[in-house]
Amino acid sequence: MLWDRAPDADNYAGRKRAIVLKTIVFFCFSVVFFKLFYLMVIQHKGLSEKAEQQYSRAVTLMPQRGTIYDRSMRELAVNIETNSLYAVPVKMENINDVSSRLSPVVKVSANILSSRLADGKGRKSSFMWIARKMDEDMSRGAEKVKDKLKNTVGVVTETKRYYPKGQLAAHILGYTDIDNKGLEGIERRYDKHMKGQVKKVQLGRDAHGLNLANNTEEGIPGNSLLLTIDEGLQHIVERELAGAVETWHAEGAVGIMMDPMTGEIFALANMPTYDLNVPADADVSERRNRAITDSYEPGSTFKVISASGVIEEGLVTPESKFDCSKGYINVGGGKPIRDVHKNGVLTFKECVQKSSNVCLIQAGTILGEKKFYEYVKGFGFGDKTGIDLIGEVGGLLKSPGAWSGRTLATMSIGQEIGVTPLQILRAYSAIANGGRLMKPYIVSEVISPDRRIIEKSSPKVERQVVSEETAKTMRDILKTVVTEGGTAQRASIKGNAVAGKTGTAQMIDPKTGRYSSSDYVSSFVGFVPADNPRISLIIVVFKPRGASYGGTVAAPVFRNIIEQTLTYLDVPMERDENNITLVSR
Amino acid sequence: MRKTHSILIPVGILIFVGLLMVFSSTGLISKAKYGNGYHYLWMHLFTVVIGLAAMLFLAQMDYRKLNNRWVVIILLALSLGLLILVFTGIGVKANGARRWIRLWPSTFQPSEFVKFTTVLALAYYIEKYASKMKSLGYGILIPFAVVGIFQLIIYKQPDFGAIISLGIITIILLFIGGIRLKWNYIAGFLLLGAAGFYKFVWLEPYRKDRVMFFWNPWKDALGKGFHLVQSLLAFGRGGITGVGPGASKQKLFYLPELHTDFIFSLIGEEWGLIGVSCILGLFIWFFIKGTKIAEQTEDPFGYYLAMGLTLMIVTQALINFAVTIGLMPTKGLPLPFISYGGSALLVNMMAVGVLISIQRSVNSKGWTGERGRYIQ
C-alpha cells in the first residue's frame, strides 16, 4: 500500500506525477485530433484532388494508321507491332548501372545514356524514350534488361509503318516519321485521312502502375486508301526504268503510266529510288519525285501542241505540204534552227513523223502567238495537273508579253518552256481519249475501318482541248511515228498499233546558262492501242550517255513496258504480223 | 456488463473495428498473394480467439501471483531467450528485418512479449525497491541497464518501433515510480538520447531519410516521402464522413503497410473524421478505464502494473497516430487491437486480461467506493 505506507512528499509527488502524465496523454490526444481535423477538414479538398491525380493517368491511345492498297487490294503500306523501350528516370537510383546495362542493348554509349537519364532525373521526369520501334534483336535484349531493371525501364508496343514491298512505288507512297506522321507522298497528302484519331483517356491505376480497367482499346483507326496504282504494272515500269538507267548510265529516269480515258495513274516511278523502310538512308536526289516536282524542256514531244492547234483551227490538214528542203529556218534573230536530217517537201503528217523542226516552226507561226499560247494553256501547261501527291510544280510558261522574237518558234518545238513528265503525259492522253484533258489521280477510294467507302474519286474532265476529230487525226499522225520512216520505230510492238512521239532536248547547263552539248533529256510518250487507247505512258531518261535520241534511249523502254503491260492486262492483239485483224471492234 | 469488465467495452469495439479494417485492407493483397480474399481475415480472427483465451486465463487468475521474484525472473529469461531465438534457424526474415520466430501456424514477434515482461518486471521492481527509487543506481541505472539489454538485442533485428516503445514505457513507469528529477539527471539523459539518436538514426541512411522527409514529405513525394504522403492523402480524401467502407482508393497499393502500421490512415479514408474521432475516443475511454483501475487498487504492484500496461497500449496508439499523420517519423508500430499482427494483438489482450484481474481484486475487497481516498 504505497500511499498508506509512505504518506510523505514522495507519495505526493507520485500522485502529482500521475496527474502530469495524464495531462500529457490528453494533450497528445488533442494534438492528434487537431492535426486530423486540419488534414481532413481544412486540407480535404486539396489533398483529395492530389490523390485523384495519382489514381488515373492520361493515356494516349495511338490509332492504327490506315493501310494503303493497290487497285487490286494488295497491301503497299501496313502497320506492324514493334517494341519501344522507355525509362523512368525519376525512379532510378543508380543511373550508371542502368546506363551500362542498357548501352549494349540499344547500342548507344553508356556515357550518353547516363547523361540523358541524369538530366531526366533532374527534371523529375517519369517517362523518357530510350529506343523506339526496335528491331527484333534489340527488342529481345530490351525484354531481358527490363526484367532486371524493374520499375525503371519498360517496354511498350507501338505500331510502326512497314512497306512490305520495300522500294516499290516509293515516290508515290512516301513514308512517315517515328510518330507515324506522313512526311512524303500519299502518306503526307492523305495523312489526315489515314492517321486516325488519338484517344485520350484517363485510366484508373493502382500504385504499381497497373491499369485497373483491362484496356485493350486503341485510338480510332484511320481510313485506308485504295490506289489506282497497280502493283504489277508499277513493278514492270520500275524494272524497265532501272534497266534503262543502267544501260545508258543515265542520271535518272521517270516513267508514268495512266489510263488516258480516266486519268487514273497505273504506275509512277522514278530512278534512282530508295527503300521506304529506311528513308533516312536515302539521298535527297533519290527521294525526289521528278515525275511531278521537276520541270524540264520537253523538246519534240511538245510538237503535238502546235500540230494539234493548226489542225483544230483548220489551218493545216495532214496532207498539207511544207517545204523543209533547206534543212533550217531563220527565226527572229540569232542562230537558225536546223533539222536533224535534211528533208524535202513533206506533208504535215510526215513532218510530225520525222519530227521536223523547220516544219513545226512554220506551223507554229501559222497559228500565231495568241492562239498557240491558248493551246499550250489548254493542254494544261503552266498549271499543276492537280494530282493528289505532294510537291507538284506547274512548270515554267512565260506569257506572250514576255516572249522574245524567237519564243513562238522555239516553244513550238518544245524549248523555252518547262514541263513535268506528268503534264506531257496528260496532254497525250487528251489526244488519246478524244480531246478531253483529264485530271490525273492516284487515290481512288478512301475506305473506313469498317470497310465503307467514304470518298470515291471519279474521272474528272478539265476541258475539251481539241475536238474528237482533231484528236483522231493526231492519233493517226502519231501512229506513223513508230512505223517505217518515223523516229521511234523501236517503240513498235507486235499485234497492236502504238501512237507516240519522241523527244530529245538539250539540257541547260546550270554553269553556263546555255544548252549543254552533252546532257540530254530523252523521252518517249505514247499510247496503245492507238485507235482504242487503254494505256498512255511516258518515259523520260535524264542525261543518258552514249546516245541521246528519244527514239534510241526511251522508245525501247516504252516498248518493253507496253509489251509486258498488254500481256499483263490481257489486251487482245488487234492484228497479227500479217495485218490480219484478229479482233475487230 | 459488470463494472469489473467495463474496460472490455472499448477493447471489444476496437477489436471488432480491427476485424473490419483488416478485411478491408487485406482483401486485395490476400487475393494477390493467396488467391482468396479472406486469408488475413481468418488469421486475424484466429489470433483474436487465442487472445480471448489468454485474456480469460489471466483475468480469472489473481494477478498478485505475478508479484513474485521467480515469475519475474522466468519471464525475463523467457523474453531474452525468445529474442535470441529470432537469430537462429527458426527466425523468420521479412523486409530486411529478423523480428519473428516461426510458430505454427503463424509467426511470433518476441519484441511484443518483451514489452509486457518489461512492464511486469518494472512494476515488481518499483514496488520492491520503492524506498530506493530516489537513488541514481536503483532508480535509473539498474532498470535502464536491464531494459537496455533488451533494446540492444532488438536493435540487432532491427525493430526501432519496439525500442522507442520500450524506452517510453520505462521512462513513464520510473517517473511515476518516484525517481528523483534532478537537472543533471535530465541533462545526462538528454545527452545520452542525443548520442543514441546520432549513432542509431543519423548514421543509418534509411532512418535519417525517414526523419528528414517527415518534416516535408512533399519534397520527394514519389520517393522517400511516398509513404507519408500517401497516408496524408488518405486522411485528406476521407474528409468528415469518409469515402465509405471498402471504398478506399489509397488501399490500391498506395498505402504501405496498410493492414499493420497504416491501418489508421485507411480508417481515416473510409470513415472520415467521424471514424477516427471514434477511434481516438475509444482509446481515451480505455485510458480512463485503465488508469481508474490503477488508482482504485491499494496494491502498489497493481498500481504500477495497471498504469504500465494501460500506457503501454495508449502510447503505442499515440505513436501510431502521430506517425500516420506526419507528427513523427515513420517507424513500424502497429495500432493496438486494430492492426493485423498476431503477437501485438495477443500481448495487448493479455494486458487487458491482467487489468481485469486487478479490477477484480479491487472489487472483491469492496474497495470500489473508496477510490477517493488516494486521489483527492
Which B residues, 130 through 149, put their C-beta within 8 Å of a C-beta on chain A?
130-131, 134
* pLDDT score at A206: 58
Q: Where does the pLDDT of residue A578 fall: very low under 50, low under 70, confident under 90, or very high at 90 and above?
A: very low
pLDDT of residue B369: 40
The verdict on a CB contact (< 8 Å) between B300 and A1 is yes
Look at B178 and A10 and tell me if their CB atoms are within 8 Å: yes
B295 touches chain A (CB under 8 A): yes
Q: With contact defined as beta carbons under 8 Å apart, do B161 and B154 qualify?
A: no
Q: What is the pLDDT of residues A334-375, one digit of tens each?
A: 788 888 888 888 899 888 888 888 888 988 888 888 999 999
| Nearest-CA distance A21 → chain B (Å) | 8
pLDDT, residue B366, reads 44
Q: How far is B162 from chain A (nearest CA, A)?
A: 19
Is it the case that residue B214 has pLDDT exceeding 60? yes
Query: Does the pLDDT at position A64 exceed 50?
Result: yes
Contact A32 B325 (CB under 8 A): yes
Q: Which of A33, A40, A47 sits opposite B240 (nearest CB)?
A: A40
Lowest mean pLDDT among A152-156, A393-397, A457-461, B153-157: A152-156
Q: How confident is the model at residue A244 (pLDDT cuts 50, 70, 90)?
A: very high
Integer CA distances (angstroms), A174 to A68, A177, A475, in order: 11, 10, 35
Q: Looking at per-residue confidence, does B152 or A6 come out higher?
A: B152
Given a cut of 90, is residue A540 above it in pLDDT?
yes
- Cα-Cα-Cα-Cα dihedral sign, residues B299, B301, B306, B307: positive
A493 has a pLDDT exceeding 60: yes
pLDDT at B376: 27
Mean pLDDT of A398-405: 86
Residue A269 has pLDDT above 90, yes or no: yes
Chain A residues with CB-CB distance to B under 8 A? 1-6, 10, 13-15, 17-18, 21-22, 25-26, 28-29, 31-33, 35-37, 39-41, 43-44, 46-48, 50-51, 54-55, 90-91, 124, 126, 206-208, 212
Instruction: Report pLDDT for B372.
Output: 37
Name the nearest CA neighbour of A252 among A523, A551, A559, A564. Answer: A523
List of chain B residues whose C-beta atoms are within 8 Å of the C-beta of residue A35: 325-327
Q: Which helix (H) or strand (E) holds A31?
A: helix A9-37
Range of weakest confidence among B68-82, B109-123, B225-239: B225-239
- Candidates B237, B310, B367: best to mutate against A (most CBs of A within 10 A) is B237
Which of A16, A25, A41 to substitute to test the interface with B, most B CBs within 10 Å? A25
The shortest C-alpha distance from A166 to chain B (Å) reads: 46
Are the Cβ atoms of A47 and B236 closer than 8 angstroms?
yes
What is the spatial distance between Cα A161 and Cα A176, in angstroms, rounded to a whole number?
Answer: 7
pLDDT at B367: 41
pLDDT at A56: 67
- Chain B residue numbers touching A13 (CB-CB < 8 A): 178
Closest approach of B97 to chain A, Cα-based (Å): 22
DSSP letter at A484 equals T
Q: Does the beta carbon of B235 lie under 8 angstroms from any beta carbon of chain A?
A: yes
> Given this model, what pLDDT does residue A571 score?
81
The minimum CA-CA distance between A125 and chain B, rounded to whole Å, is 11
Convert the pLDDT of each residue in A504-536 to its tens digit: 888 877 777 777 777 889 999 999 888 889 999
Cβ atoms of residues A444 and A456 within 8 Å: yes
Contact A2 B234 (CB under 8 A): no
Higher pLDDT pick, B234 / B368 = B234
- Cell triple for residue A230? 497497280
Over residues B312-338, the pLDDT tens digits come to 999 999 999 998 898 887 677 889 999
- pLDDT band with cut points at 50, 70 and 90 for residue A57: low
Question: What pLDDT sits at residue B213?
Answer: 67
| Grid cell at residue A72 | 487490286
If pLDDT is split at 50, 70 and 90, which confidence band does B184 have? confident
Which of B223, B252, B314 is the closest to A25 by Cβ?
A: B314
CB contact under 8 A, B237 and A51: yes
pLDDT for the residue A146: 78
* Range in A48-62, A201-215, A239-253 the model is least confident about: A201-215
Over 60: is that where the pLDDT of B85 sits? Answer: yes
Judging by beta carbons within 10 Å of its beta carbon (0-12, 13-18, 19+), is residue B246 exposed, middle or buried?
exposed
Q: Do B322 and A32 touch (CB under 8 A)?
A: yes
Q: 10 Å Cβ neighbour count for A514? A: 9
At A14 the pLDDT is 67
Mean pLDDT within A217-228: 84
Chain B positions in Cβ-Cβ contact with residue A55 (cut-off 8 Å): 249, 252
CA B53 – CA B55 distance, rounded (Å): 5
- When pLDDT is averaged across residues A138-148 and rounded to a whole number, the result is 81
Q: How distant is the alpha carbon of residue A391 from its chain centre?
A: 9
Higher-confidence position of B156 and A124: B156
Nearest to A320 by CA among A289, A342, A351: A351
Range in A124-133, A275-284, A322-331, B159-168 with the lowest mean pLDDT: A124-133
Composition of chain B by helix, strand, coil, percent to 5: 70, 5, 25
Which residue in B has a C-alpha nearest to residue A16's C-alpha? B176
Mean pLDDT across chain A, nearest whole number? 84
Instruction: Give every strand in the sheet of B97-103, ordered side by side.
Output: B91-94, B97-103, B106-108
Distance of alpha carbon B283 from alpha carbon B312, whole angstroms: 12
- Is the separation of the CB atoms in B301 and B123 below 8 Å? yes
The confidence score (pLDDT) of residue B160 equals 81
Instruction: Enter the DSSP assignment of A291.
Output: H
How would you class A154 by CB atoms within 10 Å of its CB: exposed for 0-12, middle for 13-18, buried for 19 or more? middle
Q: Where are the beta strands (DSSP E) in A116-171?
A: 128-134, 153-162
Least confident stretch, A37-46, B87-96, B342-351: B87-96
Percent of chain B scoring above 70 in pLDDT: 90
Q: Do A6 and B249 touch (CB under 8 A)?
A: no
Q: Which B residues in the span 174-233 are in contact with A, Cβ-Cβ below 8 Å?
A: 175-178, 222-223, 230, 232-233
pLDDT at residue A579 in the model: 44
Question: Mean pLDDT, to the nearest integer, of A230-258?
Answer: 93
- Residue of chain B whose alpha carbon sits nearest to that of A206: B252
Closest-CA residue of chain B to A9: B178
Question: Cβ contacts (< 8 Å) between B223 and chain A: which residues?
Answer: 90-91
- Domains annotated for chain A, with CATH where assigned, are 231-441+463-579 (3.40.710.10)
* Binary contact (A21, B284; C-beta < 8 A): no
Tell me, rounded to whole angstroms, the distance of Cα A457 from its chain centroid: 18
The Cα B321–Cα B330 span in angstroms is: 11
Helix (H, G, I), strand (E, B) or coil at B213: helix
Q: Is B239 on the interface with A (CB under 8 A)?
A: yes
Minimum CA–CA partner of B227 in chain A: A207
User: Edge to edge, what strands does the sheet with A499-508 contain?
Assistant: A265-271, A252-258, A535-542, A515-528, A499-508
Q: How confident is the model at residue B108 (pLDDT cuts 50, 70, 90)?
A: confident
Read off the DSSP letter of residue A182: B
Q: What is the mean pLDDT of residues A564-571?
A: 87
| Angle (nearest 5°) at CA A303 between A297 and A309 | 125
Beta-carbon separation of B298 and A47 below 8 A:
no
Instruction: Look at residue B42 and tell me whether its pLDDT is greater than 50.
Output: yes
CB of A256 closer than 8 Å to CB of A425: yes
Q: How many CB pairs under 8 A join A and B?
A: 127
Tally the C-alpha atoms within 13 A of residue B78's C-alpha that lie toward its C-beta: 14
Cα nearest neighbour of A41 on chain B:
B239
Residue B47 cell numbers, joined: 489470433
Q: Which residue is associated with the grid cell 556515357?
A: A111
The helix-helix angle for B160-176 and A9-37 (nearest 10°) equals 140
Which pLDDT does position A575 carry in this prediction?
A: 62
Whole-number pLDDT of residue A437: 94
Least confident of A417-426, A429-438, B217-226: B217-226
Quick check: A17 and B176 CB within 8 A? yes
pLDDT in tens, A80-122: 888 888 888 777 778 888 888 888 888 888 888 888 888 877 7
Query: Which of B325, B328, B335 is the best residue to mutate to test the A interface, defined by the most A CB atoms within 10 Å of its own CB?
Result: B325
pLDDT of residue A201: 64
* Residue from B1, B108, B97 nearest B51 by CA: B108
A10 — pLDDT class (breaks 50, 70, 90): very low
pLDDT-based confidence at residue A200 (cuts at 50, 70, 90): low
Q: What is the pLDDT of residue A204?
A: 59
Subunit contact B327:A207, Cβ cutoff 8 A: no
Q: Rounded to whole angstroms, how far apart are CA atoms B73 and B217? A: 45
The predicted model gives B215-220 an average pLDDT of 70
Q: Which residue of A has its CA nearest to B272?
A: A40
- With CB atoms and an 8 Å threshold, state whether B233 touches A50: yes
Mean pLDDT, rounded, for B13-39: 83
CA distance B242 to chain A (A): 9
Contact: A51, B272; criterion CB under 8 Å = no
Eight-class DSSP state of A221: P
The HSE-up count of residue A519 (CA atoms within 13 Å, CB side) is 15
| ipTM of this predicted structure | 0.91
The predicted pLDDT at position A433 comes to 93
Q: Residue A4 — pLDDT band, cuts 50, 70, 90?
A: very low
Q: What's residue B220's pLDDT?
A: 67
> A207: closest CA among B233, B41, B34, B39?
B233
- Among chain B residues, CA nearest to A125: B222
Helix (H) or strand (E) holding A269: strand A265-271
Helices (H) and strands (E) in chain B, counts: 13, 3
Closest-CA distance, A149 to chain B, in angstroms, reads: 17
Residue B283: is it exposed, middle or buried by C-beta count within 10 angstroms (0-12/13-18/19+)? buried
Give residue-wise pLDDT tens across range A364-380.
888 888 999 999 999 99
Please check whether residue A185 is in contact with residue A171, taking contact to mean a CB–CB distance below 8 angstroms: yes
